[in-house]
Amino acid sequence: MTTSAGRTVLVDPGQHGAYATVGEAILGAPDGTCVSIAAGTYAETLELVDRTLTLRAAEGADVLLDGTGADVPVLLARGGALTVHGLTVQAGDAAAVQADNAELTIADCTVRADRGPAVAVRGPGPVAIRDVTITGAEHGLVLEGTSGAVENVVIDNIAADGMIIGLGADPVIRSCEVSGCGQRGLYIYQHARPVVDNCRIARTGQAAIAVAHRSEPALRRTSVRDARGVGIDVGPNCGGSIEGCDIDNTAEPAIRLATTATTQVMSEPTDHGGGASPLDASLAELDGMVGLRGAKAEVRSLIDEIQVNSWRARAGLSVGALSHHLVFAGAPGTGKTTVARIYGKLLRELGVLPKGEFREVSRRDLVGQYIGHTAEKTATVFEQALGGVLFIDEAYTLSRQSGSGGDFGQEAIDTLVKLMEDHREEIAVIVAGYTAEMRQFLAANPGLSSRFAKTVEFEDYTPHELVDIISRMVADSDYELDPRSEPALTEYFRRISAAPGFGNARDARRLFERMRKTQAGRLRRLGRIPNTAELRGIRVDDVLTAIDAGRSR
């Protein structure tokens, strides 16, 4: 008795005894069959449910599966295992190749699409995609929750994102080229952990590589060129590593790390003016903040002085004593906390502080309920922050003149003055608050002002800078903002910036949250599950409604 394993059937409309269409061959073939397809154009869309089949172009044959005009995928595999070899697949308004909880192998193929993704895989896979060219799609390759390998894939002329890796996907992506993308070249989101090795990404409308939603990619020996956005953009709470990447001709900074990102920049890339050693990466993070020109210049001058002192000491030259304690003066929402975090990382990378960890406290963390209790609380907090940055927000509330707490607050100040002197090489203390109130605070103890190296002024953001900030919030949260919203946003921020209690970036955050709620309400009323573009899109009407909601409060 023989079995059908390894069987081959032929599709050739011009040959007797062969199948006339690919669909007929799939229906008639048992699992494990290789469907060999003769040269020609086949206007078919094919759905395989729990099937194990191979679709292969006959030797030397040019085979086109043409789904132009169809609103369903050309090749759709649900469960099972599909292998596609040597074909050209042309899609219309849906995916060219889609695999849902199926194993997918694609080799030596050309895949094109109009509005949908060229190749979309959802589920564990695994996938094996190699020697494939993808062009002309909305998204090139989408892998969600998928393992496997992607090698020698060329993705070009893509309307939105070239490659999307999400929902915990952990493929190995090696020796691929992504170029000519309207948005990002490589977008990694929602806990994805791909290894990206020896790839080339160029000519992108936004960041070349964007990492979001607690993803942890390993980016190795990858070249990034000619991006209108930054080279590599790592969002909040993301990790992973960047090793030996070569970045050239992108927006500044070359690598932008969110404050809470833990990504390790493990070695320097080829330096084209945007190098990314740990120190350079932190400086790039500082430079990448919106506005704050004066504050950023002050911090950079401090870092320059520390660096030069280190070089002088190594050369056996005399070095003057430097205080690392700073006063950050300005209104709420102007980036003081973020800059303080970066300052701590810079001091760590320069070897000034062993840990560079950041601890933020306020009056209630330092002031006790009775005489003597405050000194104990303040000393405990101070000791816990040794080796890093102690950031005291609204520090002026500790002074007698503030009218809040009397001698208990003064006791905290007096304790801090002594501890800052005793441990001046082991910690950086940053006190922050409104400019006028901080002048009052520094007068609360005769030795207090001398403990701080300088006062760094943080100016209010301009309306245009606030539009930039909210645009970044939108992108970091995986939304897309209609660019026609910019005039309304600019006018809104121009109006509120003149009002009492203006919160700068805090007001931008509040507006963004209202925009998200407005969009969610609109989508919920659709009466169906929105598609990906709808889930990402924030319309002008959403923005206007959110602005109006803010006026009514």
pLDDT at 154: 94
The burial class, CB within 10 Å (0-12 / 13-18 / 19+), for 28 is exposed
Angle between helices 293-314 and 278-287 (to 10 degrees): 160
Sheet strands side by side (includes 389-393): 358-361, 389-393, 428-433, 326-330, 454-458
pLDDT at 210: 94
pLDDT at 40: 94
Report the DSSP pairing between strands 326-330 and 454-458: parallel
Backbone angles phi, psi at 201, to 5 degrees: -130, 125
Residue in 515, 491, 496, 516 with CA at minimum distance from that of residue 507 = 496
When computed from its CA atoms, the radius of gyration of the chain, rounded to whole angstroms, is 29
Give the contacts of 297 (CB within 8 A, at least 6 positions apart).
none
Residue in 269, 256, 153, 168 with CA at minimum distance from that of residue 206 = 256
- On the CB side of 300, CA atoms within 13 Å amount to 12
Tens of each residue's pLDDT in the chain, 553 residues? 344 446 899 999 989 989 999 999 999 899 999 999 999 999 999 999 999 999 999 988 999 999 998 889 999 999 999 999 999 999 988 899 999 999 999 999 999 998 889 999 999 889 999 999 999 888 999 999 999 999 999 999 999 999 999 989 999 999 999 999 999 999 999 899 999 998 999 999 999 999 998 999 999 889 999 999 999 999 988 999 988 888 888 888 888 888 888 888 865 444 444 444 667 777 777 877 888 888 888 888 888 888 888 787 777 777 776 778 889 998 888 888 889 888 888 888 888 887 778 888 888 888 877 766 788 888 888 888 888 888 988 888 887 544 444 457 788 888 888 888 888 778 888 888 888 888 888 887 777 878 887 889 998 888 988 988 888 888 878 888 888 888 899 999 998 888 878 888 888 999 999 999 999 999 999 888 888 888 889 999 999 999 988 775 5
pLDDT at 141: 95
CA dist., res. 111 & res. 158, Å (int): 12
Question: Are 65 and 75 a contacting pair, CB within 8 Å?
Answer: yes
The kind and range of the H/E element at 113 are none
pLDDT at 271: 43
DSSP state of 114: S
pLDDT at 403: 44
